[in-house]
Amino acid sequence: MSYQIKFEKTSSPKQKPDQNNLGFGNYFTDHMFIMDYTEGKGWHDPRIVPYAPLSLDPSTMVLHYGQAIFEGLKAYKAKDGRILLFRPHKNMERVNISNDRLCIPPIDIDFAVEATKTLVNLEKDWIPTAEGTSLYIRPFIISTDPYLGVRPSNTYKFMIILSPVGAYYPEGINPVKIYVESNYVRAVKGGIGYAKTPGNYASSLKAQMEAKKKGYTQVLWLDGIEKKYIEEVGTMNVFFKIKGEIITPSLEGSILAGITRDSTIELLKFWGIPVTERKLSIEEVYEAQANGTLDEAFGTGTAAVISPIGELNWNENKITINKGKIGDISARIYDTITGIQSGSIEDKFGWAVEVK
Ligand SMILES: *Cc1c(COP(=O)(O)O)cnc(C)c1O
């Protein structure tokens, strides 16, 4: 498929924000990408236009039934000036996995990557350069039929917006406190847990709020049936190092298949460190802690890349992992992935994709 992307330049460019106080998702660049889908016509009219609010009929289907998906990836400016994306095809492949589950027509993966590159290149002056900062890329699709019956929409919008973001942990990478959720569940096998779709986040907010009130950063979800097996953290996949082996929950339909997770597994294999994807119960983690074989725990995701877990609270039984400090493996993975992303270390895997 080949498309021509139309371009309408903004007549009122915005002032760029202070690079030292970006936070996450607060600022948006001057332009955005949009493409429409119409039943019978397919995806059409790709365009880059000034960033602006959308005008939607109040009956627009996505507002009522949540038929939508999203993605998240980052662009970095390397010291030598190159602009790099990290494994962008993986994100667009995942769009189609999510689309399939949500009955949204598939997109053209290569074109979606091209559109991302075109938009990022156009907005390259918005890519912050301060340590730990990047340009967050948010592709998403919404269903747009003005209709209140329940069925898949016949029209959609695929959009990409960009947001300069700060270092996820401005004071450096510190271990987080995680609350093991035994009351609410995020997803079940057969549900939408493996899709990157807004509904999963809507359903997670209440547990997140309650954990925050108790002083925890995020929740660790257990499986929705027995509340026994570990699934993932809010926006991250999780890994545990027990007896020298790195273990992460296997993908069985209720967990999001993270690209940082996949990269972590590939790196560990490359380094010859044993890594296993399997069912892992919360009891096993607590037993390992009790007998001194739990060495490290960490989350993986685009936003923070690696987030060491310093404390777990499961039914008010609290454990401190690795004395509340970042572990060696966590630090090594963090340095390697962020090094590849920002072009400061050699990319042996072909993960960094240059925007030209
Ligand atoms: C996006 C996401 C992740 C992390 O995926 P990455 O591709 O590594 O950013 C993990 N869990 C959930 C629920 C997510 O939405």
- Which CATH number fits the domain that encloses residue 292? 3.20.10.10
- Indicate if 282 and 196 belong to the same structural domain: yes
- Indicate if 136 and 65 belong to the same structural domain: yes
- Alpha helices in the chain, H assignment, sequence order: 61-65, 88-101, 109-122, 198-202, 205-213, 259-271, 282-290, 328-341
Cα(257) to centroid of ligand 1, in Å?
Answer: 7
- Indicate if 287 and 158 belong to the same structural domain: no
Look up the domain containing 14 and give its range. Answer: 6-165
CA distance 323 to 337: 24
- Indicate if 227 and 313 belong to the same structural domain: yes
- Indicate if 143 and 292 belong to the same structural domain: no
One digit per residue, the tens of pLDDT, for the chain of length 356 reads 567 999 999 999 999 999 999 999 999 999 999 999 999 999 999 999 999 999 999 999 999 999 999 999 999 999 999 999 999 999 999 999 999 999 999 999 999 999 999 999 999 999 999 988 999 999 999 999 999 999 999 999 999 999 999 987 766 788 999 999 999 999 999 999 999 999 999 999 999 999 999 999 999 999 999 999 999 998 999 999 999 999 999 999 999 999 999 999 999 999 999 999 999 999 999 999 999 999 999 999 999 999 999 999 999 999 999 999 999 999 999 999 999 999 999 999 999 999 99
- Indicate if 180 and 253 belong to the same structural domain: yes
Cα(148) to centroid of ligand 1, in Å?
Answer: 31
Helix (H) or strand (E) holding 299: strand 294-301
Cα(318) to centroid of ligand 1, in Å?
Answer: 26
pTM above the 0.95 mark?
A: yes
Look at residue 168 and give its three-state secondary structure: coil
- Indicate if 182 and 284 belong to the same structural domain: yes
CA R_g for the chain: 21
Evaluate whether residue 189 is within a structural domain.
Answer: yes
Cite the beta strand spans of 108-236 per DSSP E.
134-143, 155-165, 176-181, 218-222, 230-233
Residue 71 CA: which ligand 1 atom is closest? 1
Cα(302) to centroid of ligand 1, in Å?
Answer: 7
- Indicate if 136 and 267 belong to the same structural domain: no
Evaluate whether residue 170 is within a structural domain.
Answer: no
What pLDDT, on a 0 to 100 scale, did the predictor assign at position 250?
98
Out of 165, 194, 226, a domain closes at: 165
- Alpha helices in 2-65, H assignment, sequence order: 61-65
Residues with a CB atom less than 6 Å from ligand 1:
72, 196, 232, 235-237, 256, 258-261, 300-302
- Indicate if 286 and 180 belong to the same structural domain: yes
Evaluate whether residue 10 is within a structural domain.
Answer: yes
For the chain, the domain total comes to 2
- Indicate if 19 and 42 belong to the same structural domain: yes
Cα(66) to centroid of ligand 1, in Å?
Answer: 19
Helix (H) or strand (E) holding 83: strand 83-86
Question: Best substitution site from 200, 205, 235, 340 to test ligand 1's pocket, by max atoms within 8 Å of Cβ?
Answer: 235
